[in-house]
Amino acid sequence: MNPAITNLALMLVMMQVSRRLDLEDPDILFYVRIAYLSCQAIAFAVCLYVKFSINKKNDLTTLKYVEPANPMAGQPEPKAVVTTVKEYDLKQIDQQIKGLFTSLAMMGFMHVYMKYTNPLVMQSISSVKGALETNIVKIHLWGKAASGDLKRPFKAAPGLLQALQGAGGEVKTDKASIDAAETSGAGGIKEE
């Protein structure tokens, strides 16, 4: 099933749930907070399990790819990256963990400082759903083969700026692109 459709359906259901809850009642608000923090803990536990699984597999297969140029970050040319499957996977799961903590910080600011309570209900289930639907979790938790859409390096959805500019910001894995990036000034970089 398409994750965008399930996200929309989940948001509509959670909006209805939040409307029916009396979030002014301190007892109900306490349980909503507990539910939100529990969902965040579940998503974090999934990430930690996947990280443990990556380290246990210790796949040292070499992975070469070319990252697209990013002029906004001061990288005018594509960059050749040489890494291992283990390091690539660890980088992916670390980004997911960082996203969880960023979301937790934003939600804490919105709830504690700005006194918004509805987002607690809305974001509680979506964080677990999002954690379970990432490519790295599909490979290491659900045991799916790393082929097709799950082939490393993963294809990232274009950002808003890339979509507006029509920039081709996809990672390239073909030999010609890798050779061209390695012979240019930004090639042969080994990720640590």
pLDDT at 123: 87
pLDDT at 102: 95
Mean pLDDT, consecutive 10-residue segments, the chain of 192 residues?
84 89 92 95 97 96 86 77 94 96 94 88 88 93 90 73 53 71 59 52
pLDDT at 159: 54
Beta sheet of 79-84, edge-to-edge order = 62-67, 79-84, 189-190
Question: Which is nearest to 167 in space by CA: 78, 92, 96?
Answer: 78
Q: Indicate the pTM of the whole model.
A: 0.82
Return left, alpha or beta for 166; rule: phi > 0 is left, psi -120 to 50 is alpha, else beta.
left
pLDDT at 106: 94
**What is 44-112 written as a DSSP string?**
HHHHHHHHHHHHHH----EEEEEEPPBGGGTB-S-EEEEEEHHHHHHHHHHHHHHHHHHHHHHHHIIII
**Cis amide prior to 158 (ω within 30 degrees):** no
pLDDT at 190: 54
pLDDT at 166: 46
115 Cβ contact partners less than 8 Å away, ≥ 6 residues apart: none
Gap between the Cα atoms of 84 and 191, Å rounded:
9
pLDDT at 76: 76
Q: What amino acid occupies position 22?
A: D
pLDDT at 185: 58
pLDDT at 2: 79
Question: Which is nearest to 82 in space by CA: 170, 181, 168?
Answer: 181
Gap between the Cα atoms of 189 and 191, Å rounded:
6
pLDDT at 189: 53
pLDDT at 157: 61
pLDDT at 169: 61
- Where along the chain do its domains lie? 3-184
24 Cβ contact partners less than 8 Å away, ≥ 6 residues apart: none
